[in-house]
A and B are shown apart, each in its own frame.
Chain A
Amino acid sequence: MKLLVAVKRVIDYNVKVRVKADQTGVDLANVKMSMNPFDEIAVEEAVRLKEAGIATEVVVVSIGPTQAQETLRTALAMGADRGILVQTDAEVQPLAVAKLLKAVAEKEGPGLIILGKQAIDDDSNQTGQMLAALLDWPQATFASKVAVADGKATVTREIDGGLETLALTLPAIITTDLRLNEPRYASLPNIMKAKKKPLDTVDPAALGVDIAPRLATLKVTEPPKRQGGVKVASVADLVAKLRTEAKVI
């Protein structure tokens, strides 16, 4: 069975973002970029399924600018076999991403597609669900445990009240939660080997998908700043302030 994994290049999770003064967006110039943390978990899970003999090939796909090749190389260094870059400098919103991934999936014929549950830049948490809808495949979102056997994926999901387990008929879509696994670091020899692995580039137009955004961003602003607070000297002082000043207890 072939696995398809979607990865996104995003601002590194440790970077404190700065909103541009003209309110057109967030300043990404000279900012460290990395693979979206949830996507690293997706790649790791796919590679583990291959190591367990369940998957035969792991194909990683990314949609974005030329630099997204680096993100794909990172996935290849973690153990993926082949990369596909749908190259575009345009803004691609989750619905368009899902349509592009559907076109790629129809060409590649994977038995399972793994994505991160959300990208830490747009925080949408939509692409996996949309892709599942467009392919009419079952979905298991926010996965913290995955077992694949006999044409089924048994997936434990993180839900608000605890955990839930579903059985999906393959082919299916899984989106990863943080608890699914601990992604490996790529070793230097593997990073060198990854440079020789195949990486194809395709144009969105060649996939026959209209990627025009449906949402226009009118402005991006800073959230209201919190007032700097005070330090209290003791627990008694704290309780007194909560009672008389803040009046919350």
Chain B
Amino acid sequence: MAVLVIAEVDAGALKPATLNAVTAAAKLGEVHVLVAGSGAAAAADAAKGIAGVAKVLHADSAEYANGLAEALTPLVVSVAKSYAAVVATATTFGKNLLPRVAALLDVQQISEVTAIESADTFVRPIYAGNALATVKSADAIKVLTVRGTAFDAAPATGGSAAVESVAAVAGSGKSAFVGQELSKSERPELTSARIVISGGRGMQNGENFALLEAVADKLGAAVGASRAAVDAGFVPNDYQVGQTGKIVAPDLYIAVGISGAIQHLAGMKDSKVIVAINKDEEAPIFQVADYGLVADLFKAVPELKEALD
């Protein structure tokens, strides 16, 4: 039986997070992608080009415009019944939608899967990534969200899937979209960036993040933050890396003025190379860092920028 991937659609375009779900789903069977949106023909078009996708199901309705779980769930549930598994990437979209779908299918969802061992056996981190659980599902349909950083993105081109229209199913209409306030950034997206430079409480204030941005510009890196920096109001919430923020696994992660609490490590310890710059020699971040520099960040970060010139 085939596997259904729920595409993430934003403003009529396909979000790259969908590509990671396709790679995970391909381990389970033939991949079909459900694209639900409002005027999202471009997203359906993009989905049919993804390598490894056999079929695209396209549902169009004004109700699907903002990706509300209440609007999408009846559609996904009706389509999902003929599939062996339903897969989405564990973004805020996937996390919001899939448990709602799973409950109506009477299925225990499996969250943030990092490895697929067989059609019914999956690995997922628990306790902020301090343990890995291997679980076997007894449910008829497997419903899973997969951790994007654990599965490569499927090539966005090379596929030639057929697109089939499916009828929209009306939602409950009990929720309405009011508005959005998105952070604007010219830098790469945090979760998919090859290099990430993050600041913590040691940055002291929001203005000092300009030091990190200057280095980020040299490296083509994304800028992240610890919870302490977010709570102190230095940067917006969506910069947060950690158990309750974003999970990243870049080639290079540079932690500046971050002590390395359990909850922060949960979001970045799968990075290929970790660099820590901290003046406290005892900071736990040095236990996971490949390269540690004990130094005042206000001296070291500008030096780093110059060294990259």
Contacts and interface: CB of A to CB of B under 8 A. Distances in A.
Nearest to B306: A235
A75 to B, nearest CB: 21
Interface string A183-203: 000000000000000000000
Interface residues of B, number: 89
B176 A167 contact: yes
A125 B125 CA distance: 13
B109 A169 contact: no
Q: Is the interface of B mostly helix, strand, loop or mixed?
A: mixed
Interface string B272-309: 11110000000000111111111100001001100110
Contacts of B300: 235
A220 B123 CA distance: 9
A248 B181 CA distance: 34
Given A11-B127, A123-B126, A138-B175, A160 B69 contact: no
Interface stretch (B21-29, B31-39, B57-65, B95-103): B95-103
A249 interface: yes
Contact of A236 (B66, B110, B252, B307): B307
Given A139-B175, A214-B139, A227-B290, A165 B180 contact: yes
A149 to B, nearest CB: 13
A124 B111 contact: yes
Contact of A178 (B95, B100, B175, B244): B244
B248 to A, nearest CB: 12
Given A26-B131, A220-B126, A231-B294, A125 B177 contact: no
A131 B177 CA distance: 21
Q: How large is the interface on A (under 10, 10 to 19, 20 to 34, 35 or more residues)?
A: 35 or more
B1 interface: no
A17 B130 contact: yes
A227 B288 CA distance: 7
Contacts of A138: 70, 172, 174-175
A131 B251 CA distance: 39
A217 B126 CA distance: 12
Interface stretch (B78-86, B155-163, B198-206, B235-243): B235-243
B141 to A, nearest CB: 11
A205 interface: no
Interface string A211-249: 001111111111100111111101110110110001011
A122 B108 CA distance: 13
Given A124-B111, A141-B96, A216 B126 contact: no
Contacts of B183: 161-162
Interface in B101-121: 101-104, 106-112, 121
Given A125-B99, A215-B135, A215-B136, 16 more contacts: A19-B130, A122-B126, A123-B243, A131-B103, A154-B178, A163-B181, A169-B175, A177-B237, A213-B108, A217-B133, A220-B133, A227-B290, A231-B292, A239-B304, A242-B252, A249-B252
28 contacts: A11-B127, A19-B131, A26-B127, A120-B243, A121-B126, A123-B126, A123-B127, A125-B111, A126-B102, A129-B97, A129-B99, A131-B103, A138-B70, A157-B92, A159-B93, A159-B238, A160-B93, A165-B180, A167-B178, A222-B130, A226-B269, A226-B287, A226-B290, A231-B291, A232-B293, A246-B252, A246-B291, A248-B195
Interface of A: 11, 13-14, 16-17, 19, 26, 93-95, 98, 117-118, 120-134, 136-142, 144, 154, 157-169, 172, 177-179, 213-223, 226-232, 234-236, 238-239, 241-242, 246, 248-249
- Pairs of residues from A and B, 8 with the lowest C-beta to C-beta distance, nearest first: A129-B99, A214-B108, A130-B103, A138-B175, A133-B103, A126-B99, A229-B290, A162-B182
